[in-house]
Amino acid sequence: MTSSPILDRVSAIAADVLQVPASSLSLQSSPETVESWDSVRHLDLVLALEQAFHLQFEPEEIDQMKNVECIVDILSAKAPKR
């Protein structure tokens, strides 16, 4: 997985929320590939990311969070607006 500051932070947060090793996550990691990634954990992940990045996601952005790569893309797009 190519490293970037946002990706590293997302991986660390996702690993913590989903209770999996960060090394097991890739850009393509998603609810379909990570067993613990259910609806409640998805919310936990959204909230943890909002807290860490000091922002709030719009409902449509939450829908776009299909996998780690999408999350990084959304955060990359939002970050400069802050």
Partner 1 sequence: MAISIAPYTADWIPAVKAFNQRMAAGGVGAEFRFPESNIPHWLPEFDGRTIYQRYYLAVDGEQVRGAFILKYQEFRLGQDPAKIVYYHLPLSEGIVNKSYSSVGVLMLRSALKMEPSLYCLGMGGFDRPLPTMLKALRWSMCAVPFYFHVEHPSRFLQEVQPVRGTPLRRLLADAGAFSGLGWLAIHALQTIRSTRPLLEATAEPIVNFDDWADALWARCAQHYPLIASRESRVLNVLYPAGKSFLCYKVSRGNDLIGWFVALDTQMKDNKYFGNLRIGTIADCLAIPENAGAVIEAAQAVLTNRRVDLVVANHSHKGWGSAFKAAGFFEGPSNFIFAASTGLSDRLGPFPEVQHQIYLMRGDGDGPVNL
What's the closest the beta carbon of residue 41 comes to partner 1, in angstroms?
8
* 60 scored as a contact of partner 1 (CB under 8 A): yes
As a whole number of angstroms, the distance between CA 44 and CA 50 comes to: 10
Query: 49 near 71, Cβ under 8 Å?
Result: yes
| Candidate ranges 8-16, 18-26, 54-62, 72-80; the one touching partner 1 (CB under 8 A) | 54-62
Among 4, 16, 26, 62, binds partner 1 (CB under 8 A): 62
The two counts, helices (H) then strands (E), for the chain are 4, 0
Residue type, 81: K
Which parts of this chain interact with partner 1 (CB under 8 A)? 31-32, 37-44, 46-47, 57-60, 62-66
